[in-house]
Structure formats: structure tokens, C-alpha cells
Structure 1
Amino acid sequence: MNKVFSETGNVLLGLDHPEDNKLVSPSQFSEYTILVITEGEGTFHADFASFAFAAPVILFSTPQQSIYIKETKAVKYAMLQFHSDFYCIEYHRNEVACNGLLFNNIYMEPSLKLAPEELGSYMQLVSQISDEFQQPDPSDIVLRAYLQLFLAKSSSIKIKSIEKQKVFKNDKMDLFKQLLEENFLTLHKPSDYASLLAMTPNNFTKQCTRRFNKTPSLLIQERLILEAKKQLHLTRLSIKEIAFGLMFQDEYYFSRLFKKMTKISPQAFRNTTGISIVADLSISKHY
């Protein structure tokens, strides 16, 4: 595996072409992980969610997500990983627009289906990154530029694919998504949202699962954890301050839920992902 390390020994950028599937069992990485699937098919599991895929496709995961691939037909892939210390997607959101689209979106599958010709252009990019790694003194500037191009290209294709998709239309679930974004700090029970939507709990659960492939309970918890990850990574607030800001009665209950959902404690998450440069800037208020 080709890697660029920080002065403290952390992987900043890595590229691997494993001969066999390395993700047959759940794995967690401190880096953002991108899998360019060139052959095969199977099911991609990310935390509590899962979905089927078939090559060619790109799969995306965020730091410390528990991910693995269950193959139904042998897969081959290139694995590109980067740490936020190497490339901060929040800081560069205007250039690549991938935060909340390719990463950190609980409502969409973290995947990008490719046409054969698109796969070719991506593999050319991967090859260019690999070639730069082979230089006597690989350039961080060049590698960062290739990564930014990779992410910007992916965001552009993803936006176009969303516009073309005939998503199952459901006004109630569109409203639920809006209500969840507005009230996730204060409303933590599916019954709260079922009441607001004037739906029975059973019908609400059925329609939510059909639309998002997740239960209302899971979506509510994921939205809270997504906000917690944001605060841990993008601010210097203490864990106690973050817990109270998320309306938890105490930091211990918050920590237990966070670890239940992510398999890692809030402090360990912050230690491994680091605190973004955005924490010391006022350029961004949203994740």
C-alpha cells in the first residue's frame, strides 16, 4: 500500500490494490475511505445500514464507520483513504461539495454507480496517484490536487444521478426528513414524528423503511450521532458541552449511545479523526 504519513506517524493518504477482499469482516479506519469497485457484486455494510451493489461502483465511508463487504461475486477494488489533516472536506466544501453528498448523509446510500467509460477515467486518476507515490519525493500538493479532482468529479456525477433518478415519491417522508432536521435535538421518539405526520406508528415505520431503507429509530439516532461527530471534529467543545448541547441529560449517557452506534468512544473518535482546522475558523456553521 502506498502511503503518506504525518510527522506523528498517522496515515494522511493511502492507496491500495488488494488482491483479495480485505473487508470480509467489520473494519474501522481513522480516514475517509473510498472503494472503487471494478469487478464483482455483493452487499456493503456501513454501521447499521446495508445495500446491494454491482461493479462498476464507488463506495464511500466516513472515519470510524464500521464497514465490510459481503460478496456474492468476487470483488476487486482500489482503496483510497485520506485523513482530514491531509484534506479537510469541510474547509474545501465550495470546491468539491462532497460533504453531505458523498459523505455524512444518512438519507442516501453512500455509493456512486458508474458507466464503463466513467470507470476508465477514475482508474486513470488512481493510476496517476499511484505514479506520484512512486516518485522519489511524492508531492503533497500534487496528491492533494488529484484527490480534490477525484472528489469534485464524484460530486458532479452524484448530483446528476440524483436529478435523473426516479425516487419513490412520498410527501410524508419528505416532510419527515425536514422535521427530523429541524427537531432532532428535542424529538427523539418515532412516535413524536408519527404524531406530527398524522400517521399510525406502524404505517410510519413501514413507509420510512421503504423510502430510506432504515427504521425511524435508526434515522433519529444516526442524525444525533452525525451531529455529535460534527461537534467532535469541527469544534473544540468539551465532550460534556457537546452532550448538553445535544440535549442529553449527562455526558455518560451520551457516551454510551455514541459508543453503541459507532463502536468507539467520543474521546477516541476525536483522538483518531483529529480536530479540523475549521474549529479555529468562522467560515462554516453547518456540517
Structure 2
Amino acid sequence: MKEQFPIYDICAISEFKRDDILISRFAPYLQSHKNLALPHKHTFYHMVLFTEGGGTHAVDFTNFPVRPYQIYFMVPRQAHSWSFEGHVDGYIINFSVPFFQSFLLKPDYLDDFQFFDGTTDHAVINIPEGLQQQVKHLFEAIIHESETNERLGLDMVKALMLQIFILISRISVNSSPKGNVNYNQTLLRGFQKLIEQNFANLKLPKDYAELLYITPNHLNAICKDMLGASAGEVIRNRVILETKRLLINLDLSITQIAYNLNFADNSYFTKFFKKYTGQTPEEFRKNTLNNTHHDDVSYK
């Protein structure tokens, strides 16, 4: 029987009391989950601060070296894996999509933070030395709140987490001013959200430009200016990423994946994937799974 590709929710991977949030020091969390052997996805937001250790971790098939005082963020549905060297420690917080929605008047507040936009390049941030102890202190305060039963403890956890988000956003946001740049950033974020909702059905820039009430040329210019890629490339890269995520689900055949992504036939799907990755879908699946077992990687 084919192995089911794992997609975890918070209560499925912990013995913690609440379904909406998991808070832990990293070393005991890692010790408890040695049994996870393949890349997988979460249904929740995932945040890790490393304070000790080395090795690599991967977010959506992009590898990053593990460094002390590196923090990374993941949104639901991203594929994720770890391969550590030696003792690793830090902090981990997993929290559900609705966790902040009842706390803030703006339910999509997290969308304002670049590191929660689902883009791999924004997900991993090395904290400058001057901020490391401040961020660590906030994580320690969250651990304390999770271990005690103080009044409004969960609200305090949320307030401390928001402080972390704001501090980290100040590291990662560049200081280019106003006006047209901010307007273009809003359009770009709208484009990225629309891609998330429609990439399987809408694959042409003109379709998204129409939804944004701008011309395809304007959309293309924004993407090239802010991302260094055309609008068509941004759409195509999202389709390829989803293909890779689906390919590590061993219960899905190549034909099913092509159908799910609205490709006309298997042959065109295979040519499309090989053109932009250098591998057929079958080769990518085989190489990814072989590398996993060969390297004896522990995945979370």
C-alpha cells in the first residue's frame, strides 16, 4: 500500500491541551517527533527560533543552513523538512489560522507581515546581534505563560507573539517610502493572493490583471520591478511549486496531479514540468524520496 503523504494539524502532533496553539522548547519537541520520516505540510502557521545547532532545513524545497538566532516562519500548506547536525535547541510555536482572528479587529492582520506571505525568500531571517536577547526574552515569556495558569494567559501569549512579529518585520522591511511604491506593493500582494486562490484555473497574466483592474503591462512592470520576474513567471513558479508539493504525496498518480492542476493531458504536463525543473515529474518524485531515505533525515 502506498504511504499517505502527511498533513498535520496541531493536536495530531502534540499532547498539548489546546487545539489552537502548540508552544515548546525545540529540543524536547524534536525528541518527541523522531518518527516523522518524510516531508510534510501543516494546516497551521509554524514559527521556529534556533538558539543552538547546525545542519539544514528546507521550506518548499529550498534549503537553508541552520544558524543560532535564525527565525523562520511558515504558512499553512507549505512543504517542510529538517536535517540537523548535533544538538539543536530553541523555541517552536505552531498556531492555527483562526488563532488571532477573534483577538484583533482586523482578521487578516498577519497578512501585513512579509514573512507570512508564503514566499520562501521571506521566510527565513537571521536576527541581528543587538536584537537577539530581546527576541529570546519574548520567547521565554511565552514559554512561562504556557506553563502557568494565569488569568488571560492566552491573550498574553498573543500579545507577546505580536511583539515578536513587529520586531522581526522591522528587520526585514526596507525603508523605501511612500506613494507609488506602497500602491504597487498593495497591487503585488493582491496579485499574489489571487494566484493562491486561482493558480490551478487561471494561468495567464491578463486574467489576473483583469481581476486587479489594471492592464497586463502594468502588472508585468510591477512584478519585474519588485520581484525581478515577469507576471507569467510568478504564476508559473506557483504552479511548479504546487506540483512539487503534490508529487511527494505518494497516493496521487502523475495523471491525478495533472488533472488537479488543470493540464490538458499527461504529456503536456510532463513537458511543462521538465522544461522548468530539468526533471520529469517521475524523476523529481523518485529523487526526492531517495534523498530523504538516503540521508536519514528527520522531518517536522
One of 11, 16, 23 as aligned partner of 2:24: 16
Q: Which residue of 1 aligns with 2:157?
A: 143
- The answer as to 2:165 corresponding to 1:157 is no
Cα deviation digits, residues 28-75 of structure 1 (max 9, x gap)? 332211010111232221233323342220011112333121224543
Kept in 2: contact 1:35–1:80 (CA 8 A): yes
Structure number with the higher helix fraction is 2
| TM-score (normalizing by structure 2) | 0.50
- Give the Å deviation of 1:83: 0.8
Letter in 2 for 1:254: N
Bigger relative contact order, structure 1 or 2 (CA pairs below 8 A, ≥6 apart): 2
Q: Which has the larger radius of gyration?
A: 2
C-alpha RMSD of the superposition: 4.4
Q: Which residue of 2 aligns with 1:103?
A: 116
| TM-score (normalizing by structure 1) | 0.52
One of 241, 260, 263 as aligned partner of 1:254: 260
Residues 47 and 186 of structure 1: is their aligned pair in 2 closer, same or farther, counting only changes over 3 Å?
A: same
Q: Which residue of 1 aligns with 2:90?
A: 77
Measure, in 1, the Cα distance between the counterparts of 2:237 and 2:261: 18
Measure, in 1, the Cα distance between the counterparts of 2:164 and 2:16: 17
One of 27, 37, 58 as aligned partner of 1:45: 58
Letter in 2 for 1:148: L
Residues 87 and 118 of structure 1: is their aligned pair in 2 closer, same or farther, counting only changes over 3 Å?
A: same
- Give the Å deviation of 1:159: 0.9
Q: Which residue of 1 aligns with 2:251?
A: none
- The answer as to 2:43 corresponding to 1:30 is yes
Letter in 2 for 1:156: R
Q: How does 1:108-119 map to 2 (within 5 A)?
A: 108-119=121-132
- Give the Å deviation of 1:110: 1.0
Which blocks of at least 5 consecutive residues in structure 1 are unaligned? Answer: 6-10, 164-176, 190-195, 198-209, 226-249, 261-287
Residues 105 and 19 of structure 1: is their aligned pair in 2 closer, same or farther, counting only changes over 3 Å?
A: closer
Find the residue that maps to 1:128 and give its secondary structure. Answer: helix
Residues 137 and 30 of structure 1: is their aligned pair in 2 closer, same or farther, counting only changes over 3 Å?
A: farther
Residues 67 and 95 of structure 1: is their aligned pair in 2 closer, same or farther, counting only changes over 3 Å?
A: closer
Measure, in 1, the Cα distance between the counterparts of 2:89 and 2:236: 31
Q: How does 1:172-211 map to 2 (within 5 A)?
A: 186-187=202-203
Letter in 2 for 1:16: S
- Give the Å deviation of 1:123: 1.4
Find the residue that maps to 1:15 and give its secondary structure. Answer: strand
Kept in 2: contact 1:13–1:86 (CA 8 A): yes
Cα deviation digits, residues 63-97 of structure 1 (max 9, x gap)? 23331212245432211111122124994555882
Aligned residues: 191
Find the residue that maps to 2:121 and give its secondary structure. Answer: coil
Q: Which residue of 1 aligns with 2:267?
A: none
Identity %: 14
More off after superposition, 146-155 vs 80-89 = 80-89
